[in-house]
Structure 1
Amino acid sequence: MARGTVEAPHFLPEVSMSVPAPARGRRGRRVPEGPRASFRQLLPFLLEHTRTLVVVGVLSVLGAAATLAQPLLVGQVISRVQEAVPLGALVWLLVAFVVLSSVISGFQHYLLQRTGTAVVFSSRRRLIGRILRLPISEFDARRTGDLVSRVGTDTTLLYAVLTQGFADAVGNALILVGAVIAMAFIDPLLLVLIVVVVGASLAVVVLLSTRIRAASAVQQAKVGELSSGVERAVGSIRTIRASGATEREIAAVTENATAAYAAGVRIARVSALIVPIAFVALQVSLLVVLGVGGYRVASGAIDVASLVTFVIFLFLLVQPLASAIGAITSVNQALGALGRIQEVLDLPLEEDDDRPSAASPMTDAAAVEFRDVRFRYPDHVVKAREAAAQEARSVLAEVHLDAGDAEPESDREVLRGVSFAVPRGARVALVGPSGAGKSTILSLVERFYDPTSGAILIDGTDARDLARTELRARFGYVEQDAPTLAGTIADNLRLASPDATDADCERVLRAVNLGDVLERNALGVDAPVGEDGVMLSGGERQRLAIARALLAAPPVLLLDESTSSLDGVNEQRMREAIDAVATDRTLLVIAHRLSTVVDSDLIVVLENGRVVGQGTHSELVASTPLYRDLAKHQLLV
């Protein structure tokens, strides 16, 4: 390979997800337009709280009645004062209605706040349940930070739907209707003038609000990208610092923050137009009423008490109209966020698990068998990977490196007619250059994906005829760079075996040569491992993952063994750990260093998605040029 040239990156699952509205992603990449929610899609979130909303509706009716009675009582007070008639209990009745409407309003506000919080909780619960059940392909095509943003930030906007959007909706509607009817009885001419002014302002508000929805969708999408960028930078902070890339990462993440800010400014700009429109409508309406109404009082068409009552009813219209304008704005913002929430809720879940249990394993069948398996990643994963590859090429171009001429993902299969068998109780190794399809084979065994064609047999049964939960219970899977969860050693071990005792945990730890980890901390299995297992070495994290799989006592272990970064001592310990767990078990191991698998019962050599050789170490050295070259480079021949 020429100096200054690097291979096309293989970290393609780190991709940018589709976001709503035509915006620009990181480094200027265009982000495709995503779905927008409709009001109908918002209803299920509200109908979950029908009982509370009915109570709020009843309170709204009572509050509206108490509020509408007040202008009428004021008019009566004015008339009695003009006629020098004693007020009697009229004033106390007016005070009672004012207090009643205030108490009702306060309790109604509490119910709406509580229900708004409940809507956020239920939407988060549904999203969490949905996200954690999505097919693996969706995680390969999306950024984790964006999914997290949908659970946290996007759901929060639904709170405004009840607390600002639908607050007192029923009561305000009744007040609006009641006030209009009362005003029509007092003076139809004045009412017509008010309707013209207010109707024109509402039409403008509705028109502007559609722009708020689009801007809100862009803002939430940019917040999602911002979350992804921060998560990526924080998770790789040591590498970033060591590479002197801190300022570049700050600039990249700040770019997403700036885009979110710009979308927020657009929302503020439109909202700033809506507020004065509402204010002008109120001012013009009041001036019209005072001017025309004063003239009609002077002409004797109406009396002063009627004009005052009309003006009070006009002010009563302000709250419903202000709420309506607020509802239009907040609901459109919520619908922008709901589009992103609904996108996840509409995704298909990983299928299952209604099928009956499979028959007992065939004793003479291989533990795992691939028969002419071909596999191509789904289109949405391919597109995401190609987009990530293009972004990676842009990054490399910025530092004047050549990304090479990699074959487009869409033009090739990952596996091309792979056939091999893993006998029960045997140790089988998969070897080959990077990108040969080794990790994909383990993903297919675990049914994270299903093959495009061909068949994978588990104990003689087609894997597609087994429920995923039953199939995965037969395997202990240790992925490459297996994550260490924040918490304690026991927390990590009990992930697949929640009922395991401390003694069980200690037993498997010692089985994989991690006894020294127990001895260096008085807390033993309750010792913390730190964020991402930072308190453990790389080799210890990998062996901890093996211990986690071993604790579940599966008959087959799938080890995507990553030893390329281990020193000689840790490599030897890893080899000893594999030897220890191999007893009475079937092992299918991906080998990055041939020294860890030279004594395997069977070694399968892969290249470009094809099996190019099978046999023992000595047989492959003699028969398979690729394996012989790999062995020579690792000084094994």
Structure 2
Amino acid sequence: MSVPAPARGRRGRRVPEGPRASFRQLLPFLLEHKRTLVVVAVLSILGAGATLVQPLLVGQVITRVQQSVPLGALVWLLVGFVVLSSLISGYQHYLLQRTGTAVVYSSRRRLIARILRLPISEFDARRTGDLVSRVGTDTTLLYAVLTQGLADAVGNALILVGAVIAMAFIDPLLLGLIVVVIGASLATVVVLSTRIRSASAAQQEKVGELSAGVERAVGSIRTIRAAGATARETDSVTETATAAYNAGVRIAKVSALIVPVAGIALQVSLLVVLGVGGFRVASGAIDVAALVTFVIFLFLLVQPLASAIGAITSVNQALGALGRIQEVLDLPLEDEGDLPGTSTAVADAAAIAFRDVRFRYPDHVVKAREAAAAEARSVLADVHLDSAEPPTETDREVLRGVSFIVPRGSRVALVGPSGAGKSTILSLVERFYDPTDGAILIDGIDARELPRDELRARFGYVEQDAPTLAGTIADNLRLASPAASDADCERVLRAVNLGDVLERNPLGVDAPVGEDGVMLSGGERQRLAIARALLAAPPVLLLDESTSSLDGVNEQRMREAIDAVATDRTLLVIAHRLSTVVDSDLIVVLQDGRVVGQGTHSELVASTPLYRDLAKHQLLV
């Protein structure tokens, strides 16, 4: 996990600097393609050999011309090596480009597989856009590692060593001067490149925040427009974009220092060779052919040195992004630690039983929510609106010793004011979280002893906000029932009074629903979610205020549909309206995370003041 560092976010808040990765953590991404990299290395060696031969052949050509000796096949041999080295370089370039693309693909595949299996707490603590940015933007920087000099380091190293050895044979004095100049420039590049890594990590962090901000704004565009908050949201997202720009400028400044350092090293080296070398030719220490050969070898040094400088820069940028990728890859998966599921259901046990369950959200989720609340209060302060105080330590325990039983085949309703813990109970049943203390029994088995996939297959869960996935009606219905036929889909749609949705589009169940179901009304999205649960036909239905967006007619239709499928099934319902409650076999009344009453409607009206008050107001809280 990242460690807070003195970076600044919007409105002067301190934000954590992105985690940094080491080169050792980069190796697994490269070693996945070790066969191709071996071929690239072999090609690099062959190309290096073909390149190193060329200055020697040029020297031989000059010597023969000076001595008036026929060139013979020497020129054609030189041309052949030039063509060979070019062909090898072209094919090597193709392999590197392809492998770089493959590295990005494999890293994205690993990230996607990891993200979609993270614990729900991580999604509660992180912004969606930031996770998307790690998959899209951060992984792209890994491409440069292979395409900017790292993978062909073997050939470049061979050229470098071969050129140095040849230059040492030609003139050790000139070589010593060159080593001093180039060594000083490389040391400068290494020092400067360390600043690129931290700047790159900061830039990727800001790009992640930018993606999250854009995703938030676009996802709530209607609300933002209706509230007249377009300008404020634009300023907020633009501020994050500016921070990303500033980090990019810092990278550009450091890179701008590296480029002239390399250029100055080459120019100074060339001037030294021409000046000192010319003097040595005049003095007879070396001849013209040797000086020309030395100069060509000097230029051969440029490619591996430029490649090394590019590799240092690109690797440091990639390591900044890899730190954010590795942070996600190092997170535990939701199903890590799940037991193999050898327990068997206890005969005549309750479908669901809560035994003195206590729960508080993990600290990182609480901190993330408090940070989001603080930012919301800051925005409200900008428009001179009051805001609630942040939660205190005692507010963090959501459930405080909750106990109740849901018998098989029964209908149990959870009621209570907002924030009482009703939706949290369904989250615990689905094992999105595990209780802090106490136990939840499913068919007499502790839920923690059941693999999550096996446990969730027993439930049909309809969430409070009834999310709709982009795609078609059929895509949404078949999410939990991929083998369902079109006829099955149409049947459950008509059961929840969505027949008109089928009839208004000639595509029927293949009609698109738009991003987040924007082409459906709120009530239609809710009924579609319920139809999805009904299609899966699980033994237990968990309905979180499933009729809250329905009018009276559709609510009655929905109740009839639920009644029709409730036979031989267990229902645990979070009630929003009195009409949903009165027919329940058991009603559990919650307040401040505690059970304050249990019984039928008539019993609770007589015994529980809170329920009596809620019933008086039709449970519309």
TM-score surpassing 0.5? Answer: yes
Distance in 1 between residues matched to 2:418 and 2:558, nearest whole Å? 21
3-state SS of the aligned residue for 2:284? coil
**1:490-544 Cα shifts (integer Å, max 9, x gaps):** 1100000101111111121122222222222222211221211112111111111
Could you tell me how far apart the structure 1 residues matched to 2:131 and 2:474 are? Answer: 28
Distance 1:564 1:556 in 2: 20
**Distance (Å, rounded) in 1 between the aligned partners of 2:305 and 2:319:** 21
Partner of 1:9: none
Matches within 5 A, 1:523-542: 523-542=507-526
1:14 paired residue number: none
Worse-superposed segment, 102-111 or 536-545: 536-545
CA distances 1:9-63 after superposition (whole Å, capped 9, x unpaired): xxxxxxxx97986433344322113320000000000000010000001100000
Q: Deviations over 1:269-328 (max 9, x none)?
A: 110111011101100000001111111111111111111111000000001110111111
Match of 2:237 among 253, 259, 264: 253
CA deviation after TM superposition for structure 1 residue 93, in Å: 0.6
Instruction: Indicate the residue corresponding to 1:58 in structure 2.
Output: 42
Q: How many residues align?
A: 620
SS in 1 for 2:513: coil
Matched residue SS, 2:148: helix
1:452 equivalent in alignment to 2:452: no
Alignment of 1:209-608 (within 5 A): 209-352=193-336, 355-408=339-392, 412-608=396-592
- Secondary structure of 2:380's partner? helix
Counterpart code for 1:458: I
Flag the 1:134–1:166 CA change in 2: closer, same or farther, 3 A: same
Matching residue of 2:91 = 107
Partner Cα separation in structure 1 for residue 7 and residue 137 of structure 2: 19
- The equivalent position to 1:85 in structure 2, one of 65, 69, 78, is 69
Does the 8 Å contact 2:343/2:449 carry over to 1?
no
Q: Residues 166 and 175 of structure 1: is their aligned pair in 2 closer, same or farther, counting only changes over 3 Å?
A: same
Residues 319 and 43 of structure 1: is their aligned pair in 2 closer, same or farther, counting only changes over 3 Å? same
Q: Deviations over 1:186-225 (max 9, x none)?
A: 1111111101101101111110101111111111111111
Task: Indicate the SS of the match to 1:457.
Answer: strand
CA distance in 1 between counterparts of 2:28 and 2:169 reads: 40
1:148 to 118, 124, 132: 132
Contact 1:502 1:525 in 2 (8 A): yes
Question: 3-state DSSP class of the match of 1:130?
Answer: helix
Contact 1:604 1:613 in 2 (8 A): yes
The CA deviation at 1:408 is 2.2
Using the size of structure 2 for normalisation, the TM-score is: 0.97
Q: 1:622 to 1:535 in 2, by over 3 A?
A: same
Aligned equivalents of 1:563, 1:635: Cα separation in 2: 13
In the alignment, the residues of structure 2 paired with residue 24 and residue 120 of structure 1 have an alpha-carbon distance, to the nearest angstrom, of: 30
Aligned partner (choices 141, 158, 169) of residue 153 of structure 2: 169
1:47 aligns with 2:34: no
How many Å separate the matches in 1 of 2:315 and 2:619?
67
Question: What does the per-residue CA deviation read over 1:364-388, in whole Å, with 9 as the maximum and x for residues that have no partner?
Answer: 1110000000011111111111111
| CA 1:624–1:341: 2 relative to 1, 3 Å | same
Equivalent residue for 2:190, pick from 206, 223, 235? 206
Which amino acid letter does the alignment assign opposite residue 130 of structure 1?
R
Mapped partners of 1:114, 1:224: distance in 2: 27
The one-letter code sitting in structure 1 at the alignment partner of 2:78 is L
Whether the aligned pair in 2 keeps the contact of 1:136 and 1:448 (CA below 8 Å) is: yes
Deviation at 1:263, TM superposition (A): 0.7
C-alpha separation in 2, matches of 1:575 and 1:370: 26
Between 22-31 and 92-101, report the one with greater CA deviation.
22-31
What TM-score do you get using the length of structure 1 for normalisation? 0.95
With 576-585 and 186-195 compared, the bigger mean Cα shift is at: 576-585
Spell out, residue by residue over 1:340-370, the C-alpha distance to the aligned partner (whole angstroms, 9 max, x if none). 0000000000125874444442331110000
Shift in Å, 1:175? 0.3
Checking the alignment, whether the CA contact within 8 Å between 2:370 and 2:391 is kept in structure 1 is no
Of the candidates 612, 621, 624, which is equivalent to residue 596 of structure 2?
612
The structural deviation recorded for 1:167 is 4.6
Distance 1:345 1:328 in 2: 24
SS at match of 1:382: helix
Q: Distance between the aligned counterparts of 1:20 and 1:484, measured in 2?
A: 36
For 1:456, the aligned partner's letter is I
User: Aligned partners of 2:103, 2:317: CA distance in 1, in Å?
Assistant: 16
Task: Write the distance in 2 (CA, Å) between the matches of 1:41 and 1:288.
Answer: 41
SS state at 1:264 partner: helix
**Is 1:631 equivalent to 2:618 in the alignment?**
no
Aligned residue for 1:315, secondary structure, equals helix
Q: Secondary structure at the match of 1:464?
A: helix
Secondary structure of the equivalent of 2:349?
coil
Counterpart check, 1:129 vs 2:99: no
Partner of 1:31: 15
Q: Relative to 1, partners in 2 of residues 1:606 and 1:635: Cα closer, same or farther, differing over 3 Å?
A: closer
8 A contact 1:21–1:217 mirrored in 2: no
1:133 is paired with a residue whose SS is coil
Identity %: 89
Distance 1:438 1:251, change over 3 A: same
CA RMSD of aligned residues (A): 1.7
Q: Tell me the secondary structure at the aligned position of residue 369 of structure 1.
A: strand
